[in-house]
Structure 1
Amino acid sequence: MFVMIVDTGNFEFIGLGNTEAEAAQGVLTRWEKHCSNVPDVDEGYMQELIDNGSAQVVELEPGSAVIYGLDG
């Protein structure tokens, strides 16, 4: 499983998927929901963060763990 964590400066969005792309899609889907609830949010901001390498992606196997901010 892949975990993608993106820190927007106000919130941390976390996506989970069998592939990195699936984890990214989870983050983007949640971002879309966030944008629909919060006025004046830049809808393209999350994609920009992912594209510029600001997303932390970690591959996890059953029984493993990650320390956010230290692994990556």
Structure 2
Amino acid sequence: MPEEKVAELVKTRAARVVVFGDGLDPDSGRELARELAGRGMRNVSFVKGGAKALFEAGLGTTGGAP
């Protein structure tokens, strides 16, 4: 994710952020989750297994890529 998008997301002070990867590397969001938490965002969660794991568990997604 580009730096300006990360900074923009941090500024929102979102109550909850769920990060997951997609495509060839379903765990590609792990570093982004760490970076957001390291910048002071609270309630950042990482979904191991990516979007596929969410859908297999019967959980959809709302929103989209920032």
**Which TM-score applies when normalising by structure 2?**
0.37
Greater helix share, structure number:
2
Q: Which has the larger radius of gyration?
A: 1
Give the structure with the higher percent strand: 1
* TM-score for both structures, normalised by structure 1: 0.35
